[in-house]
Chain A
Amino acid sequence: MAEKVLMKGNEALAEAAIMAGCRHYLGYPITPQTEVAAYMAKRMPQIDGVFLQAESEIAAINMVIGVASTGKRVMTSSSSPGIALKSEGLSYLAGCNLPALVVNVQRGGPGLGGIQPSQSDYFQATKSAGHGDFRMLVLAPASVQEMVDMTITGFELADKYRMTSMILADGTMGQMMEPVVLDTKEIKTFDKPWAANGTDGKRPHNIINSLCLEAKELEEWNIERYKMYSEIEENEVRYEEYMMEDAEICIVAFGVAARVSRNAIQAARAKGIKVGMIRPITLWPFPKKPLLAAADKVKAFVSVELSMGQMIEDVELAIRCKKPVLLANRVGGIIPSPEEVLAKIEEADKMGGNN
């Protein structure tokens, strides 16, 4: 087993991208993800890769489209307002059926907001990254090790389905330092017969395009893509259950909120309250089935978020509103404390019996 090293989430993610075979990073600095660009600026020249600081986020995402068209693994990263700037490009990536890895190390919003951590781009990532009918695979790491593992998974899933994978992290995930193992496990690669990488005079041209001249053709493409999305919802849901065996209350939390929630769960368990957690690892596809199953066992849910309550809507939908869902949240760059989450757990505990 490889030796542990101490890394910031942003650095670990960047190194993981290199391990996954990414040799093209196009980006633009913004706190709190600047270390991704800084790390790539140091590492890419050492391995004959390309680091390019584009003139803007919009330029960077359009360069991503260019690289992805050639079949190379490519990545860009930014933080909330920068991701908003990329939204047109994200839609074009979907329209062109191109794989790419896009990283959002979220900060507080709306507007310029602040530089402190946030999860308030949940809607943007899972519902509305850009115009048109499309989805992105959204992975939510909760440790520096997961920043590594999910970056690799993100590249693999992107190639497998020819779509964008997004790492939805936040300021704490990007900035915190933890030991990681930069595993040398085998990286999956995929044939890309669709890539515009030179015909060698041996095959017809591949054309990468998101424009359909006929309405019927555009409709067919959309239907085709949604068939694939259904397949993904069936096969690629990732989540983690924590102390759910006997739980009467179910916390739902991802990323840094899940870390706080674990500490709150331990405090609640010490008080004799049976609480557990379902931690979505993929935010899209969302773990609807395990949540619905939990709804028959628990008396209430608590959605813990660094937003005004975005994921809570998906929790309510997933459980078909069978049980009450409470919200434990802080915004503006503030992280809910374990005590605040515990208070919400106690409130949930006072709710009616298990029916």
Chain B
Amino acid sequence: MEATRITIFAGHYGSGKTNIAVNYALHLKQHAEKVAVCDLDIVNPYFRTKDSADVLEQAGVRLIASSYANTNVDVPALPAEAYAVIDDKSTHAVLDVGGDDRGALALGRYAPSILKEGDFEMLLVVNRFRPLTRTPEEVLAVAREIEAAAGIRFTGIVNNSNLGTQTTAEDILSSLPYGEEVARITGLPLRFTTVRKDLLDAVKDKPTSFFPLTLQSWRPGTEA
């Protein structure tokens, strides 16, 4: 997978951006020397890239997150170091943006330098199983709101349709037309469809580019 220097994951609240950002950074690290994942989420104080701090550190991926992330300081703070990776052309930066237009506002302050450099892609993460983005038309509306808030236009689609740990191969397969329709209605290329690693074999003969995911753990011990 040819990677731009900056990869931005944005989309509807709860569409799976953080999980993909962590997996994508780990994937990039296999090909690039310096990779950083940057938490720009100012909306959700509960599910953060910082939950994956250990796995990122072990892989040598730099995690840039607000020092308040996962603490009781409930303020929408951005990490001061974010500028460092966005400006450092020797680092592959993966930006994890907060949900919806409210979350994308934070991206707006970095937009001028990202656009000036031009070596980026901004991927719209979509999940057919999320109730407020079930139709391509709803996705399009959310995408336009995010673009307006961020000051950057999307360049591609990530079909991340899933039901969490209960996702089946059939769920993935049933979402493929949705991913294609979102791509068509937005006029953007479908960059990849995510699939949990253990389901890859069951779907991989389909004519779409799959990106295998490991679900990041959240509040271990509470699994049903």
Contacts and interface: CB of A to CB of B under 8 A. Distances in A.
B224 A259 contact: yes
Contacts of B129: 4-6, 179
B96 to A, nearest CB: 16
B83 interface: no
A2 to B, nearest CB: 11
Interface in A1-34: 4-8, 11, 15, 31-32
Contacts, number: 75
Given A115-B45, A176-B219, 8 more contacts: A6-B130, A6-B162, A7-B131, A15-B131, A172-B222, A177-B14, A259-B223, A262-B224
A256 B222 contact: yes
Interface residues of B, number: 24
B163 A6 contact: yes
A179 B164 contact: yes
A108 B72 contact: yes
9 contacts: A5-B129, A6-B164, A172-B219, A175-B46, A176-B219, A262-B224, A263-B221, A335-B219, A337-B220
Interface of B: 13-14, 45-47, 72, 74, 127, 129-132, 134, 162-164, 166, 218-224
A-B complex: 8 closest residue pairs judged by Cβ atoms: A114-B72, A179-B163, A175-B46, A6-B129, A259-B222, A337-B221, A338-B221, A5-B131
- Chain B at the A interface: mostly helix, strand, loop or mixed? loop
Range of interface residues on chain A? 35 or more
A260 interface: yes
Contacts of A179: 129, 163-164, 166
Nearest to B222: A259
A143 interface: yes
Contacts of A176: 218-219, 222
A89 interface: no
Nearest to B73: A115
B164 A177 contact: yes
A171 interface: yes
B43 to A, nearest CB: 9
A171 B46 CA distance: 8
B16 to A, nearest CB: 9
Nearest to A175: B46
Given A15-B131, A179-B163, A333 B72 contact: yes
A142 to B, nearest CB: 8
A203 B175 CA distance: 56
B223 A263 contact: yes
Contacts of A6: 14, 127, 129-130, 162-164
A211 to B, nearest CB: 39
Interface in A166-222: 171-172, 175-179, 182
A155 B14 CA distance: 27
A128 interface: no
A108 B74 CA distance: 13
A4 B45 contact: no
Given A176-B218, A333-B72, A42 B132 contact: yes
